[in-house]
Each structure stands twice: as C-alpha cells, then as structure tokens.
C-alpha cells in the first residue's frame, strides 16, 4: 500500500474538529509534522495509560511521533491521559468519549487499542476500515465470527498490525525460537504452563468510580444492558461478557509464544474445565478462578494450560522435546537442557538461552509503520492465538470437546 505524505494528505482533507482547542490544522503546523506519526489511544485504562503510552513515548524522538488524541468513556482516565500527553509533548491530546470520533480524525495515522476485551474486534475492524495502522491488545477476540471479520478488514485495507503479545519480542524468546527451529530440541511432544496466584488478577483493578463520570452505554457496547456498578466497570476483567478470564487473558500469551517458538499455528481440538471455587464474595465475579485447558495440535503434540488462583505454588512453563527441554518458567531468563530426553542430543546440562537482540514490541510496530513491513506479531499471529482461546472457552461453556477446521475457519463440537 502506498500512503500519501502528510503534506499531500492534509492538503486534500479537512482541518479536523474546529470546536477543539487543538485542531488538525494546528497539529500540522508543528515543525516536522509532515513526517510525524500521529497516534491515537483507544482505551485509557491501566494498559493504555501505563503500557501503550509510555511504550511509544520512549521512541517519540527516534521515530518522530506524537500522541494527539485519546478516547475513553471514563472522563477521569481520559483527562489523565490527555494531561500526560501535555507533560510529554507540551500540549494536551484531544479527548473523546467514543472511538468513532477519534477514528474520524484525518490527521491520525495509527491507533493503539487497549479497550475491554469485548470491544477489541469492533475497534480493530473500524480502525482498519478507517485505514489506520493498529496495535491491538490481546486477546484479539472473544467471538470467532467477529474475529474473522476484523482480521479480514486488516488484510483488505493493508494496514500495519501488531498484536499485543509482546513476550515474543523478548530477545530470549527469539533465542528459544532459534533452538527449536534448529532441530536441537527434536520433535516436541508436550507444551505446558501453570500460571497460578493467590488472587485473581481482576481484583487489583477495582477502583472507585461514579456514574456521572462514565458514559455507561459506550462502555457496554453490544454487551447486555445492566445498571452501572463501579466494580463491574473497573473490574471488568472478572466478568463474562466483557472478558472470559484466564484462558484468553493469560493463556493467549502462552499460546502465542509457543506458536512463535515451535512454529505451530492452529490447534485441531480443545477441552476445558474450571469454575469459581475460591473467590466468592460480594462482587460476584463470573470468570473462573480455576481453569484447565488442553489442546491437540496437528504437528502431534499436546498443549496444557492451567490457572489456580487459590494457591500460588506450582508455576511453570516448559516445552518438552525428544532431545530435551526449554524451561520458560521465568520467560525473561529461559534455560535449555537435555533434561528428560529420550534421545539425548547436543543440549547437555541446563544453560541459559542465548538472547538475540531486536527492537522492543512497540518499536517494532513503529518501524514497520514506516517501512510497511510485517510486524513481529502480525494479524495471522493474532488470529491464531485468538482461535485457540475461543476454542477452549467454547469447550468450557458447552462441556464438549471442540474441533477447529483451519480450511473452513469453523468450529464444531466433536
């Protein structure tokens, strides 16, 4: 896709939103603006405000970028984000309640989506159709049909996309990939992760919030109507309808990293069990605090993920091959060894995995916007992790084994 220069683009579009203190034309008058990336933030919660914004700001000078617009249905967070932009760039970001108004800005080149999970596909598809490059948080989707529609829009519009599965951009993750792809690990037989804790992660997001400060209907979107509750609004990670809990919330990272390292794409089947067994209280969270998912992959190995939020012991992440094991329990300091080998090869005693340097996940996205090359976690990678977690959650909800047909992009009971 050939993108016009900012000078050409601004010459053929409107001046932006005149009612705002900083209009599109005022942004264009800043020195260097013709080549400056203008970024919008969709969702100013913890992920947007504390990860996405500082993540790209770290590269503001080298990549010539500016955050120019933010949107969130909660005025408190929207104003915090705008104020942070002013502290960094000398002027506040334009603030909006709805993503629709942000995407209507002709001078915004790219957006970062950190909205609640049930909004991801809607925001992604709308951004792609607006021809904005996109960074979108995981899990990419909660529904298969919405996933397919959003991913098709990304491909059809030729936008640069990065999924928020940033662990695959760690230098040691690429080191693990090199080991697996070299054949040193041998045929993989099982990949497993146990990710446990003393409390579900959604509790830490609970905050005071007031209905007068929130556009509740904008937050709900296509979720069923319900009265405003501060715990539902701020702790949405723990409520079905807005999120599906640990499998998409945490195992999406696990599945994506496994795919990156061993080269797998889609599971053929999944089963999943779990429930709320420990954390029952006045909040009435509906996401499971204990869950176990199993997937089979066509390459001939089994994948296991479990979460226990009733006891923090037993954490682990390992890839088992016939020649040895990659241990990613601490995924910033993984090790490789011949431990457990049935056909000992050259791996030997446990040693740290050699890091292979590369740009961080945010920088990779920014550089690819400039080069129009494919990102480290492109749309296919996002689609693949989303299929796996959707498959598992459908098994969880139905109590039946679920099968995915990659050729037809369909899920069925089996």
- pLDDT tens for 236-266 read 999 999 999 999 999 999 999 999 999 999 9
CA–CA gap between residue 32 and residue 44 (Å, rounded)? 27
How wide is the angle at C-alpha 373 spanned by C-alphas 371 and 142, nearest 5°?
A: 125
* The pair of three-digit structure tokens given for residue 237, joined into one six-digit string: 């990670």
CA–CA gap between residue 300 and residue 292 (Å, rounded)? 20
- Does domain 168-358+380-413 fall under CATH 3.40.50.720? My reply is no
Angle between helices 144-157 and 120-129 (to 10 degrees): 20
Contacts of 282 by beta carbon, 8 Å cutoff, 6+ apart: none
Q: Does the pTM exceed 0.85?
A: yes
What residues in the chain have per-residue pLDDT under 70? 1-33
CATH 3.40.50.720 boundaries in the chain:
6-167
Contacts of 202 by beta carbon, 8 Å cutoff, 6+ apart: 235, 236, 237, 238, 243, 285, 287
Judge if the upstream peptide bond of residue 139 is cis by omega within 30 degrees of 0: yes
CA–CA gap between residue 381 and residue 265 (Å, rounded)? 8
Q: How many CB atoms lie within 10 A of CB 399?
A: 10
CA–CA gap between residue 173 and residue 169 (Å, rounded)? 7
- Per-residue DSSP letter, 339: T
CATH 3.30.360.10 boundaries in the chain:
168-358+380-413
- Per-residue DSSP letter, 222: T
Q: Which CATH architecture has domain 6-167?
A: 3-Layer(aba) Sandwich (3.40)
Residue from 124, 16, 119, 21 nearest 72 by CA: 119
Whether the CB-CB separation of 373 and 379 falls below 8 Å is answered with no
CA–CA gap between residue 221 and residue 226 (Å, rounded)? 11
């Amino acid at each position: 896709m050939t993108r016009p220069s900012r000078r050409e683009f601004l010459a053929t579009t409107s001046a932006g939103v005149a009612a705002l203190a900083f209009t599109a034309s005022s942004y264009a008058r800043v020195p260097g603006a013709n080549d400056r990336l203008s970024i919008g933030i969709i969702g100013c919660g913890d992920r947007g405000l504390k990860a996405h914004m500082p993540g790209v700001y770290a590269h503001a000078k080298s990549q010539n970028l500016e955050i120019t617009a933010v949107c969130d249905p909660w005025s408190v967070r929207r104003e915090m984000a705008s104020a942070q932009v002013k502290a960094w760039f000398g002027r506040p970001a334009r603030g909006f309640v709805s993503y629709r108004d942000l995407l209507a800005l002709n001078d915004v080149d790219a957006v970062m989506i950190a909205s609640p999970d049930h909004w991801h596909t809607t925001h992604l598809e709308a951004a792609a159709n607006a021809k904005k490059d996109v960074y979108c948080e995981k899990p990419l989707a909660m529904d298969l049909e919405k996933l397919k529609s959003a991913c098709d829009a990304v491909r059809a519009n030729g936008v640069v996309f990065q999924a928020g599965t940033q662990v695959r951009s760690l230098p040691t993750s690429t080191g693990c990939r090199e080991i697996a792809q070299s054949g040193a690990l041998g045929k993989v037989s099982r990949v497993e992760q146990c990710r446990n804790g003393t409390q579900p992660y959604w509790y830490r997001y609970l905050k005071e919030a007031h209905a007068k400060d929130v556009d509740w209907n904008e937050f709900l979107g296509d979720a069923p109507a319900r009265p405003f509750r501060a715990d539902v609004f701020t702790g949405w990670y723990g409520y079905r309808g807005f999120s599906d809990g640990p499998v998409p919330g945490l195992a999406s990272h696990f599945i994506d990293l496994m795919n990156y390292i061993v080269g797998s794409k889609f599971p053929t089947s999944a089963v999943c069990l779990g429930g709320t067994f420990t954390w029952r209280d006045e909040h009435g969270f509906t996401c499971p605090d204990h869950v176990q998912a199993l997937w089979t992959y066509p390459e001939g190995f089994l994948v296991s993920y479990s979460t226990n939020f009733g006891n923090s012991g037993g954490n682990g992440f390992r890839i088992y091959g016939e020649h040895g094991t990659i241990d990613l329990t601490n995924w910033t300091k993984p090790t490789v060894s011949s431990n457990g080998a049935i056909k000992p090869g050259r791996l030997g005693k446990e040693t740290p995995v050699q890091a292979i340097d590369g740009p961080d996940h945010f920088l990779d996205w920014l550089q690819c916007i400039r080069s129009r090359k494919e990102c480290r976690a492109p749309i296919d990678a996002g689609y693949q992790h989303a299929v796996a977690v959707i498959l598992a959650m459908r098994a969880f909800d139905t109590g039946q084994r679920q099968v995915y047909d990659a050729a037809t992009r369909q899920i069925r009971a089996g």
